[in-house]
């Protein structure tokens, strides 16, 4: 390859990788798979190593990650967050181990092996044990200030605990990963699809997008988790090993993944890698490799770093879980909200140890974007190691015999017209009595978070609907033993157990009941808020949109949806039928009188002893109401550290202000 050809290829790779990084880190919209990115990056690294005179300071190989977005304040670090070099085979890690031993002049190195999480790297800064700032890694030196969003991650402590026999550090930088559990990711995508929103591509993409929301309330609604795995700058601490750091982080009550292993030499590290890889799909979170770090802090200092990567650590990547297979057919499934979801039926293929025969295509727009056709050969992966999805079509294997799938204009189950709501990406069946919606709704109604009818599974729900035994939720409570005995493969004992479960379900809470009704956009949290606000389901029959928007976390669109559902005569008859049949949804327990009874309280600043949400719950338990703004009607302002404009306004209006110790003392009064 001539010098001009090398230069041209380097420019092409630089442009392609730069676009991919921008799409992933800035736009939160990946345009290539991780495996494809790794291949291109390794090619660019090889070319630059062979031709260092052609390496540009702006090359993707010379920076840790994507540039920070402009919508957040920038955070400049004194101690950069380094990226890791990758190895992909036994030979490559053996070479790395040999280089480390040679530079140190030792025969064997002790390593710490940790899971390589597939999330978003962040840094938390604690001063005297208090969380004061959080930032994304960004390009390693400059990140994005996402402090308000990180405060919403439940397992990140706002106040550190004192370690055994010591005090909290005066200053501590904690590095770690924000991620989403596999089960939470699957549930999140299901909710997005039912709401007509595009699904997230993978857990890492959804974690990154969630953490970089301008409105922290949106971040709080996402199921984010955090693991700490490194310490940056700090004051007053000394460590001999990395293992000691992890022990201290745990003592400080920071979440540390317990699944890390100390290994001596290549053979033990290889054994850990084999074990991690074998258990990859059993883990509750997504990983794409194993991080191997030198344990000795003295060895780390002696080894140093090269540019943006340390010489004392490496990421041993797992092989990509993507396989080739053929699309045998495409059909549309109808969900409980009427959403039409295209599903590809595949020639059976093992992906990550699981046989895959179907893969979701999410919606019509996604189907067209990927241009998946019946008969295509495709790459399939398990998104988040859970949900099978088609990564891309292998266009070079097309023969011309492939058939474009025509999306139906009528429901494939009930033949009712389908329609797409304004601003939605999902087509929905408009049929009022669609059996497919009936089956899905029945399963939802009977599910554990809803009415919790044990024994009402998917197959039984389908049979009850198809036989005409259950047309509305109320029909569940009219079922008799004789009727159930006509259901295929349902014995007398099982039928009797089901009737007993149905009877038990009558004694429920208003929160469960509202969630069970299957109102679009109303999840468990919204159902709880509605129950607390209205306390009687019949009050919702006359609730206005304005009144509904005053309920916590209910916006105008959701309020309109709830309003329309409860103002529908058929739905009102359904609720009345359920109540007449003995369903008794109890309202939340009445708040007992307490120190805050009848008072409106505003919380401002940072509390060290509890989260803002916990403080709010404690106030409400004692009869108070928490408001987000200070006015002349405010009875009390609780001012934590760094209280701002709300404190100033309270002082101007003469509203009573108490600090955190005084607030805690009030809680003790009951």
Q: Which residues are catalytic?
A: 116
- Burial of 633 per CB tally in 10 Å (0-12, 13-18, 19+): exposed
From the list 177, 25, 144, 157, the residue with the least C-alpha distance to 77 is 144
Alpha carbons 563 and 473: distance in angstroms, whole number: 20
CA dihedral (146, 149, 150, 155) in degrees, to 10, reads -170
SS3 state of residue 295: coil
Is 303:103 a contact under the CB 8 Å cutoff?
yes
Alpha carbons 216 and 220: distance in angstroms, whole number: 6
- Burial of 541 per CB tally in 10 Å (0-12, 13-18, 19+): middle
Angle (nearest 5°) at CA 100 between 302 and 314: 100
* Residue found by looking up tokens 């004694």 in the block: 507
Question: Which residues share a beta bridge with 79?
Answer: none
Sign (positive or negative) of CA dihedral 424, 425, 431, 432: negative
SS3 state of residue 600: strand
- Beta strand 120-127 pairing with 171-180: antiparallel
In sequence order, what E strands does 319-376 have? 322-334, 340-351, 354-360, 373-374
- Beta strand 387-393 pairing with 403-404: unpaired
Alpha carbons 440 and 457: distance in angstroms, whole number: 10
Alpha carbons 30 and 44: distance in angstroms, whole number: 20
Estimate the crossing angle of helix 458-466 against helix 435-446, to 10 degrees. Answer: 140
Alpha carbons 530 and 548: distance in angstroms, whole number: 8
Structure tokens at 518: 């299957």
| Secondary structure letter of residue 67 according to DSSP | P
């Amino acid at each position: 390859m001539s010098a001009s050809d090398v230069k041209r290829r380097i420019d092409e790779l630089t442009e392609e990788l730069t676009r991919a990084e921008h799409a992933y880190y800035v736009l939160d919209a990946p345009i290539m798979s991780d495996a494809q990115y790794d291949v291109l990056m390794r090619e660019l690294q090889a070319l630059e190593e062979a031709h260092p005179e052609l390496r540009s300071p702006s090359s993707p190989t010379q920076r840790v990650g994507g540039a920070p977005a402009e919508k957040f304040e920038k955070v400049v670090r004194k101690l950069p967050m380094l990226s890791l070099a990758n190895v992909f085979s036994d030979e490559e890690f053996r070479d790395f181990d040999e280089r480390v031993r040679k530079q140190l002049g030792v025969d064997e190195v002790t390593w710490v092996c940790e899971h390589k999480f597939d999330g978003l790297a962040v840094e938390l800064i604690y001063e005297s044990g208090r969380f004061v700032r959080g930032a994304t890694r960004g390009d390693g030196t400059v990140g994005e200030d996402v402090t308000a969003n990180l405060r919403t991650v439940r397992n990140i402590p706002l106040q550190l605990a004192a370690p055994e026999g010591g005090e909290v550090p005066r200053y501590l930088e904690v590095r770690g990963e924000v991620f989403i559990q596999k089960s939470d990711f699957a549930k999140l995508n299901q909710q997005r699809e039912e709401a007509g929103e595009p699904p997230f591509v993978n857990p890492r993409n959804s974690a990154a997008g969630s953490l970089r929301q301008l409105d922290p309330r949106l971040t709080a609604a996402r199921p984010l988790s955090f693991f700490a795995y490194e310490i940056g700058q700090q004051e007053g601490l000394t460590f001999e090993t990395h293992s000691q750091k992890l022990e201290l982080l745990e003592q400080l009550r920071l979440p540390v993944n317990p699944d890390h292993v100390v290994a001596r030499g290549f053979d033990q590290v290889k054994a850990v890698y084999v074990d991690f890889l074998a258990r990859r799909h059993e883990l509750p979170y997504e990983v794409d490799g194993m991080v191997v770090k030198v344990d000795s802090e003295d060895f780390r200092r002696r080894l140093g770093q090269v540019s943006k990567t340390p010489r004392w650590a490496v990421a041993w990547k797992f092989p990509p879980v993507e396989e080739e297979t053929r699309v045998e057919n495409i059909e549309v499934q109808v969900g409980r909200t009427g959403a039409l979801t295209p599903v590809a039926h595949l020639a059976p293929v093992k992906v990550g140890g699981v046989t895959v025969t179907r893969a979701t295509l999410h919606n019509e727009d996604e189907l067209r974007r990927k241009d998946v056709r019946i008969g295509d050969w495709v790459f399939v992966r398990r998104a988040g190691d859970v949900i099978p999805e088609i990564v891309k079509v292998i266009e070079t294997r097309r023969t011309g015999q492939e058939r474009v799938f025509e999306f139906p204009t009528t429901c494939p189950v009930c033949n009712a017209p389908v329609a797409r709501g304004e601003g939605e990406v999902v087509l929905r069946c408009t049929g009022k009595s669609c059996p497919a919606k009936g089956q899905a709704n029945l399963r939802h109604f009977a599910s554990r978070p809803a009415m919790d009818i044990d024994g009402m599974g998917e197959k039984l729900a389908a049979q009850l609907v198809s036989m005409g035994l259950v047309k509305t939720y109320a029909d569940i409570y009219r079922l008799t033993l004789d009727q159930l005995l006509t259901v295929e493969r349902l014995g007398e004992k099982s039928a009797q157990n089901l009737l007993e479960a149905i009877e038990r379900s009558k004694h429920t809470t208003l929160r469960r009941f509202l969630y069970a009704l299957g109102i679009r956009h109303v999840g468990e949290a919204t159902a709880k808020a509605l129950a607390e606000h209205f306390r009687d389901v019949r009050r919702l029959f006359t609730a206005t949109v304005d009144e509904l928007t005053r309920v916590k976390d209910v916006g105008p669109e959701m309020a309109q949806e709830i309003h329309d559902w409860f103002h529908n005569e058929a739905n009102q008859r359904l609720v009345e039928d359920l109540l007449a049949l003995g369903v008794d949804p109890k309202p939340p327990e009445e708040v007992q009188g307490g120190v805050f009874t009848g008072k409106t309280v505003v919380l401002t600043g940072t509390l060290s002893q509890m989260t803002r949400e916990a403080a709010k719950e404690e106030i409400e338990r004692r009869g108070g109401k928490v408001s987000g703004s200070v006015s002349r009607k405010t009875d009390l302002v609780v001012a934590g550290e760094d209280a701002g404009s709300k404190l100033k306004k309270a002082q101007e209006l003469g509203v009573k202000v108490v600090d955190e110790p005084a607030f805690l003392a009030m809680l003790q009064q009951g």
